Amino acid sequence: MYKPLFLKDFGKIAAFVLFFTTATVFELFSQQKSRSKTIYAGLNIPFGTFHSTHDIGFGIQGEFTDIRFRKSKKKKERALRSVFLSGLELFSGQKENVRGYPFRYLALWIFHASGGAVYALNKKWRISATAGPSLGNYSNTFRFNWSGAVSGSYAVTNRLSAVAGLILFKEPGADVLASFSLRTGYRF
């Protein structure tokens, strides 16, 4: 079946728009000195039905917020702030035998950009919740999804943090893809 050029390249166009939007927001946030910029990298451990088709994945994220770990004691900070999070998650497919023939699920790439709130419990601990659109790529097919994440982080030093959380992705007509996330963060 013939598809017009726009529909053929819609996924690529959507990926470019999502990337451009994310890069623009990162640039706007980075110009404000009061903001905290953090890069996270770590493992995603799928569970539920998602675990039966995909292995442990890898993710990298960028986060902008105006809460910094271990701020000076002189200034009283608000505990609840806004946060912007953008990233890429990759899950490799598992191998299995179907009626005696080998079959391998394809890799799943998910680009996401989301906003939400972060709450500083004290100078070292904070929790955050975000939600927003995402773009999934499976079998060279791009689809728009929804993403959400809840995480808790602990400041190991002024620059390093350890993060554990839950990431959810929902594509229309499919089950929720859920994974635990274990990451290390570096603040600039």
What average pLDDT is seen over the chain?
A: 79
Q: Are 114 and 150 in contact (CB under 8 A)?
A: no
Share of the chain above pLDDT 90, in %: 22
pTM for this structure? 0.74
Q: Can you give the pLDDT at residue 188?
A: 78
What is the reported pLDDT for 6? Answer: 42
- The one-letter code for the residue type at 131 is A
> What are the distances in angstroms from CA 123 to CA 9, 18, 39, 65, 157?
47, 33, 19, 15, 11
- Report how many helices (DSSP H) and strands (DSSP E) the chain contains, helices first: 2, 10
- pLDDT bucket at 103, cuts 50 / 70 / 90: confident
Which residues sit opposite 44 in a β-bridge?
Answer: 57, 181
Per-residue confidence (pLDDT) for residue 4, from 0 to 100: 43
Assign residue 139 the CATH number of its domain. 2.40.160.20
**Residue 110 pLDDT > 50, yes or no?**
yes
CA 85, distance to chain mean position in Å, is 7
Q: pLDDT-derived band of residue 5, with 50, 70 and 90 as boundaries?
A: very low
Kindly give, in sequence order, each residue whose CB lies less than 8 Å from that of residue 43, ignoring residues fewer than 6 positions away: 56, 57, 58, 59, 181, 182, 183
Q: What is the pLDDT of residue 73?
A: 55
Comparing CA positions, the residue from 90, 106, 92 lying closest to residue 58 is: 90
Domain span at residue 107 reads 5-187
Check if the beta carbon of residue 40 is closer than 8 Å to that of residue 163: yes
Indicate the Cα dihedral angle 59, 65, 71, 76, nearest 10°: -150
State residue 7's pLDDT score: 45
pLDDT at 172 over 50: yes
Residue 108 pLDDT > 60: yes
Locate tokens 């675990």: which residue?
A: 51
Calpha distance 174→181 (Å, rounded)? 21
Work out the average pLDDT over 75-102: 82
Q: How many domains does the chain have?
A: 1
- The strand pair at 101-104 and 160-170 is best described as unpaired
